Amino acid sequence: MREIIFDTETTGLDSREDRIIEIGGVELVNRFPSGRFIHFYIHPGDRQIHPEAQAVHGISMADLQGKPRFAEIAGEFLAFIEGAKLIAHNAGFDMGFVNQELARLGIEPIGADRVVDTLAIARRKHPMGPNSLDALCRRYGVDNSRRTKHGALLDSELLAEVYIELVGGKQAALGLEIVETVVETTADVDVAIVLSERPRPLAPRLGDAERAAHARMIESLGESALWKRILPQAAGAAPAE
């Protein structure tokens, strides 16, 4: 299974008018980094970089002099991501820009079924937040000390580590199968959230003594105890294996 963790930096926030000025991505194979990556700085043509955007990523027009236009790197980018799932944090933002750039070249957009939004996954898994990339790095012990500014390749590398933790850490390499794809809408772009589960339940850890003690505790709670409505058999003998 190939997945490309990617990120973009842009001249501003409006994908209809603004342009991608940096794109980076790293490849995972069966949820492990393969060592392959892609990275481009891209000249935005006559579109200037908004000062607030430059304050975030630190890229100036001077930095982009002599860099290729998106049309010049599109073929290499599409070849790198071909056949892979695309993973991004707040994927609706990045995919909006990527698909607008492709549309300007008359290329079909990348479908939502190929896109996984780690922000949506994080919000489902940690509903109290915060769920920014920096916050998730802190939560999962990912070293983000190099991240003084946003950068497409560095952010992709950090997100790859976060993503592996979000979907179950190293357990992802133990043969878990994709069982459901949920499509959600983020910033007017549909993105797919891939959910997975264990191929078989874990073996029970309770022994006969623990089950008997639990049954005695429930019996002491009285006839109106909620446990007796949820697990009627708990009041009697432990359920048979």
Active site residues: 150
Q: Is the Cβ–Cβ distance between 118 and 88 less than 8 Å?
A: yes
Question: At 77, is the secondary structure helix, strand, or coil?
Answer: helix
How many whole angstroms separate alpha carbon 15 and alpha carbon 93?
8
How many whole angstroms separate alpha carbon 193 and alpha carbon 195?
6
How many whole angstroms separate alpha carbon 127 and alpha carbon 56?
26
At 4, list the tokens: 């490309």
Q: Is the Cβ–Cβ distance between 90 and 117 less than 8 Å?
A: yes
Q: Is 50 left (phi over 0), alpha (psi -120 to 50) or beta?
A: beta
